């Protein structure tokens, strides 16, 4: 997804309720761009849509007529939402998402627990998988395993709420998954997401996310800084805002303006 398409999608989704930030949207757009540049083809899958805020971007990522977007959410069966993450609503989701879909059969919707969905139900061949459903450890681990089982070579999984005090289950699931599956590597943590790819593909993705010029073209610049740190035995690129830049003071405001003008 190029910068213009990414910014168009952001304009379309920003009024929708949910938790998907501008920078997370650009992380998705650049991941999609890497896949387009490297010839990675396949479907897109999202677990956890809520009102469709992240889903609208995924709809816009459907680049070929043979690609489908598959969604799984409990939607109106909130009694089954045991971790109380988000609150799907099918009518709102449908209103927000389906008008942007290229055709009605390009979007497949499973209104159920993701734990009740199997690789056979999904079919193989997914290039981009967004995990943002149940946030308990066993739910998130099952979602990681399901997504890993249907991901094409060169594909990417993005999991939400990777390092948040209110969702330790997601962190536990990721650590358990990476410990058990050395063929997968965490590549980038930032904007509340973790990008996981197969070990063979890690450098191709990492080099794009280390390219500050590319990130700036998508509007990801100061106050975001990077560092490379080990996480579960892998060097992971971290996007973070230094604590001194988190409060808006006249100085940080001036720095934001200065860096905004320079890039």
Ligand X SMILES: C[S@@+](CC[C@H](N)C(=O)[O-])C[C@H]1O[C@@H](n2cnc3c(N)ncnc32)[C@H](O)[C@@H]1O
Q: If DSSP codes are grouped into helix, strand and coil, which group holds residue 60?
A: helix
Whole-angstrom Cα Rg for the chain: 18
Question: Contacting ligand X (CB under 6 A), which of 1, 6, 9, 18?
Answer: 18
* Cα 237 to chain centroid, rounded: 16
Question: Contacting ligand X (CB under 6 A), which of 60, 67, 73, 201?
Answer: 73
Beta strand pairing status for 107-111 and 69-73?
parallel
Q: How far apart are CA 117 and CA 143, in angstroms?
A: 9
Contact flag: residue 88 with ligand X (CB under 6 A) = yes
* Window of 44-52, 188-196, 221-229, 235-243 that interacts with ligand X by CB under 6 A: 44-52
Q: Which is nearer to ligand X, 132 or 201 (CB)?
A: 132
Question: Contacting ligand X (CB under 6 A), which of 33, 50, 127, 208?
Answer: 50
* Window of 66-74, 151-159, 162-170, 225-233 that interacts with ligand X by CB under 6 A: 66-74
Provide the token pair at 164.
């948040």
Site string for ligand X, 99-128 (x = CB under 6 A): --------------xxx-------------
Contact flag: residue 169 with ligand X (CB under 6 A) = no
> Omega before 223 cis (within 30°)?
yes
Beta strand pairing status for 184-190 and 193-198?
antiparallel
Contact flag: residue 42 with ligand X (CB under 6 A) = no
Contact flag: residue 154 with ligand X (CB under 6 A) = no
Residues 6+ apart with CB under 8 A from 91: none
Residues in binding contact with ligand X, number by CB under 6 A: 25
**Angle formed at CA 140 by CA 189 and CA 90, multiple of 5 degrees:** 100
Contact flag: residue 60 with ligand X (CB under 6 A) = no
Question: Contacting ligand X (CB under 6 A), which of 25, 32, 48, 62?
Answer: 48
Residues 6+ apart with CB under 8 A from 165: none
Q: Residue 162: what are its φ and ψ, rounded to 5°?
A: -65, -40
Contact flag: residue 23 with ligand X (CB under 6 A) = no
Q: Which residues here bind ligand X, judged by CB under 6 A?
A: 18-20, 47-50, 53-54, 72-74, 81, 83, 85-88, 113-115, 132-134, 139
């Amino acid at each position: 997804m190029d910068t213009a398409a990414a910014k168009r999608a952001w304009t379309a989704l920003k009024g929708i309720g949910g938790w998907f930030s501008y920078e997370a949207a650009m992380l998705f757009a650049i991941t999609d761009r890497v896949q387009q540049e490297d010839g990675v083809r396949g479907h897109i899958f999202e677990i956890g849509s809520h009102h469709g805020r992240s889903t609208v971007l995924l709809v816009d990522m459907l680049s070929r007529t043979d690609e489908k977007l598959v969604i799984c959410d409990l939607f109106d069966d909130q009694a089954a939402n045991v971790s109380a993450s988000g609150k799907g609503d099918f009518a709102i989701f449908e209103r927000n998402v389906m008008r942007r879909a290229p055709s009605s059969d390009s979007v497949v919707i499973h209104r159920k627990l993701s734990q009740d969905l199997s690789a056979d139900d999904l079919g193989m061949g997914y290039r981009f998988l967004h995990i943002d459903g149940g946030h308990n450890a066993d739910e998130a681990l099952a979602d990681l395993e399901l997504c890993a089982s249907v991901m094409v070579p060169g594909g990417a999984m993005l999991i939400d709420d990777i390092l948040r005090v209110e969702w330790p289950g997601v962190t536990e699931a990721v650590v358990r998954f990476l410990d058990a599956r050395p063929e997968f590597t965490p590549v980038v943590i930032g904007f509340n997401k973790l990008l996981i790819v197969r070990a063979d593909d890690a450098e191709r993705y990492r080099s794009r996310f280390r390219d500050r010029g590319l990130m700036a073209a998508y509007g990801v610049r100061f106050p975001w800084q990077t560092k490379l740190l080990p996480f579960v035995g892998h060097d992971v690129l971290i996007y973070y805002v230094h604590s001194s830049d988190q409060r808006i003071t006249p100085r940080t405001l001036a720095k934001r303006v200065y860096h905004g003008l320079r890039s």
